[in-house]
Amino acid sequence: MKRIHVMAAVIRNAAGQILIAKRPDDAHQGGLWEFPGGKLETDEDRATGLRRELLEELGISVTQARPLIDIRHDYPDKSVRLDVWLVTGFNGEAHGAEGQPVCWVAPSELGNYSFPAANAPIVQAAQLPERYLITPDMADEGALFAGLEQTLENGIRLVQLRQTQLAEREYRALTERVLARFGERFDWLLKGNEPPEYPGVGWHLTARQLHELGSHGLPPRSSTGWLAASCHNAEELSLAQQLGVDFVTLSPVLPTPSHPDAAGLGWEAAQALIGSINKPVYLLGGMSPERLSEAFDAGAQGIAGIRGLF
């Protein structure tokens, strides 16, 4: 079946809300909510196709957009590539120019709407930020807390609590203190052999856990937090996708001080690997905020980092 290339938009307004529209009942995947957009025309470039669709469907002129996530999905009757961009600037008042209902919703409310099956990773990408901080190992807890206060001021919201120097018991004790002080202010992901039981706190799996769980499946999780995994190659990405994680890190993209002997995948290989799965991917290894636009061009959700973000 020939794959149809669809340009679609996660449109975010100044209040942080996202625009969704309802597909006509008689359309493919009719009656479900969607991110506005439509088929790319022959010989049309992606940005032009996106602009044309949003003008036709919503009456807005896009002034700022960049790639967000690129999905390939096979419906029984249709194969689509959903080439989704994040639109953060536009002129005009968005309205259903083809008579379709539209509404602005908070990212956390997207889960209350029914979307086509292909859209699950788009909803996750719309809810996830551009930067994912992994805490550096720090023996000095005061310095770790001061660093976290600083990263809050820098606008970072998603954090993995990693402290490889701590034994499991010490890590658990530190977790209690970190959550008591910062619990509400960040979206946390924890490491460990068991899924965290704190409400809303996520779990970040190592590549080794991915291989182990691959044959058993996930243990039951009581928490609704994010589920993520560390991946380094195509096999691990595909394991992560099969297990149903929400997002992954892919590393190392560039050589880093912490792994000076690892060559790094390089941008081209990273881009090809990102294209092989339907999940938001944070690039890790040698990343800093100056690399964000390269990461977006490679199809990534954004960057993850230890020293580069702390």
Write out the binding residues.
23, 28, 34-37, 57, 119
Tell me phi and psi for residue 91, to 5 degrees.
-110, 145
Nearer to ligand 8DG, 34 or 187 (CB): 34
What sign does the CA torsion over 198, 200, 206, 212 have?
positive
Task: Please give the DSSP secondary-structure letter assigned to residue 14.
Answer: T
Distance (Å, whole) CA 82 – CA 102: 20
Distance (Å, whole) CA 161 – CA 172: 11
Per CB under 6 A, 28 contacts ligand 8DG: yes
Per CB under 5 A, 96 contacts Mg ion: no
Q: Is 217 exposed, middle or buried (0-12, 13-18, 19+ CB in 10 A)?
A: exposed
Annotation: binding site for 8-oxo-dGTP: 23, 28, 34-37, 119
**In Å, how far are 97, 117, 191 from 217, measured between CA atoms?**
45, 22, 17
Interface mask toward ligand 8DG for 92-111; x: CB under 6 A: --------------------
Residue 50's binding partner among Mg ion, ligand 8DG, none (Cβ under 5 to 8 angstroms by kind) is none
* Distance of closest approach, residue 79 Cβ to ligand 8DG, in angstroms: 9
Contact between residue 246 and residue 122 where contact means Cβ atoms under 8 Å apart: no
Nearer to ligand 8DG, 80 or 228 (CB): 80
Only segment of 37-45, 65-73, 147-155, 247-255 that touches Mg ion (CB under 5 A):
37-45
Distance (Å, whole) CA 207 – CA 226: 16
Nearer to Mg ion, 38 or 192 (CB): 38
State which of positions 122-141 bind ligand 8DG (CB under 6 A): none
Nearer to ligand 8DG, 44 or 294 (CB): 44
Return all residues near 94 (Cβ < 8 A) that are at least 6 apart: 11, 19, 58, 59, 60, 102
Only segment of 37-45, 62-70, 174-182, 281-289 that touches ligand 8DG (CB under 6 A):
37-45
Please report, as ranges, the residues that interact with ligand 8DG according to CB under 6 A.
6, 8, 27-29, 34-35, 37-39, 78, 80, 82, 116, 118-119
